[in-house]
């Protein structure tokens, strides 16, 4: 790539994100481009208080999701400290400012994605990370992401919902028993449903190690939310009691501990 082409590419990037992110964040995206992780950004997929996700493309023109964490949200800072404090992977970590904390949060999501992906959990494949910019597999087609469960359920028949429900329980089991993590914020808002009724778990930055002091409470909450959504909101028959599911997961953890 010539110097002029690089300058033009960087100019386009700044015009894309400068209204939302500070210069340092934009330079972080540029660094991922220079490392050949991504080639360009092509528009916003979703936006929230904590981050924005952009559609990006690799140098072989494959679509990817580029998640950029906001580095100036004081409210966000308060919410994430409880997920880092007590995590054995961040023992001794003491951020000096909000930016360092957000960088650690992005690193945490990348590690969680990697751990889950390697354990066979259906999550977006992690592809790269630089400070507060995370690049991962794009879950969708034709530039459109697949719907979240909360968006898809009304279009599904009862037997299809039962398939989705059982697949979610299977993914939870893999997260806990194989990856030895707890999602910590699982709900209909961070589970994607594919056209063939597969499920993809997203937003795993808050996931904690099973040895985290709050892991059991977070796991109970995850299971209760899933049960309440399918049993109470949808009215699906044949849902399993969350306490019963929890007992099975605890037995699985005890069994693996002894291996």
Q: Say whether 22 is catalytic.
A: no
Q: Say whether 203 is catalytic.
A: yes
**Catalytic, out of 10, 87, 196, 203:** 203
Q: Which residue is associated with the tokens 């299977």?
A: 170
- Cβ(242)–Cβ(165) under 8 Å? no
Write 50-56 long-range contacts (CB < 8 A, 24+): 50/76, 52/20, 54/16, 54/17, 55/138, 55/143, 56/135, 56/138
139-152 exposure pattern, b = at least 16 Cβ within 10 A, e = fewer = bbeeeebbebbeeb
Q: How far is CA 105 from CA 51, 68, 132, 155, in A?
A: 11, 11, 8, 35
What is the token pair recorded at 187?
Answer: 């709900």
**Catalytic, out of 10, 22, 185, 198:** 185
Q: Which residue is associated with the tokens 């849902």?
A: 239
Q: How far apart are CA 111 and CA 185, in angstroms?
A: 17
36-48 exposure pattern, b = at least 16 Cβ within 10 A, e = fewer = ebbbbbeeebeee
Residues with a known catalytic role: 185, 203
């Amino acid at each position: 790539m010539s110097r002029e082409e690089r300058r033009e590419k960087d100019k386009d990037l700044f015009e894309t994100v400068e209204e939302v992110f500070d210069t340092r964040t934009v330079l972080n995206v540029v660094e991922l481009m220079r490392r050949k992780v991504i080639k360009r950004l092509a528009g916003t997929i979703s936006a929230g208080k904590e981050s924005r996700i952009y559609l990006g493309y690799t140098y072989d023109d494959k679509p990817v999701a580029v998640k950029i964490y906001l580095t100036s949200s004081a409210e966000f800072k308060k919410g994430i400290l409880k997920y880092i404090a007590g995590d054995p992977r961040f023992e001794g970590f003491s951020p000096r400012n909000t930016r360092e904390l957000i960088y650690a949060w992005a690193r945490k999501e990348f590690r969680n994605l990697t751990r889950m992906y390697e354990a066979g959990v259906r999550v977006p494949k992690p592809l790269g990370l630089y400070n507060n910019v995370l690049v991962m597999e794009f879950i969708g087609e034709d530039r459109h992401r697949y719907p979240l469960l909360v968006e898809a359920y009304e279009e599904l028949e009862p037997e299809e919902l039962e398939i989705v429900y059982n697949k979610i329980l299977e993914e939870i089991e893999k997260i806990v028993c194989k990856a030895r993590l707890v999602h910590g914020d699982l709900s209909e808002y961070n589970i994607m449903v594919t056209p063939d009724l597969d499920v993809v778990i997203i937003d795993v930055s808050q996931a904690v190690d099973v040895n985290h002091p709050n892991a059991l409470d977070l796991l109970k909450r995850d299971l209760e939310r899933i049960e309440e959504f399918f049993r109470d909101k949808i009215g699906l028959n044949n849902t399993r009691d969350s306490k019963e599911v929890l007992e099975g997961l605890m037995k699985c953890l005890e069994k693996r501990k002894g291996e």
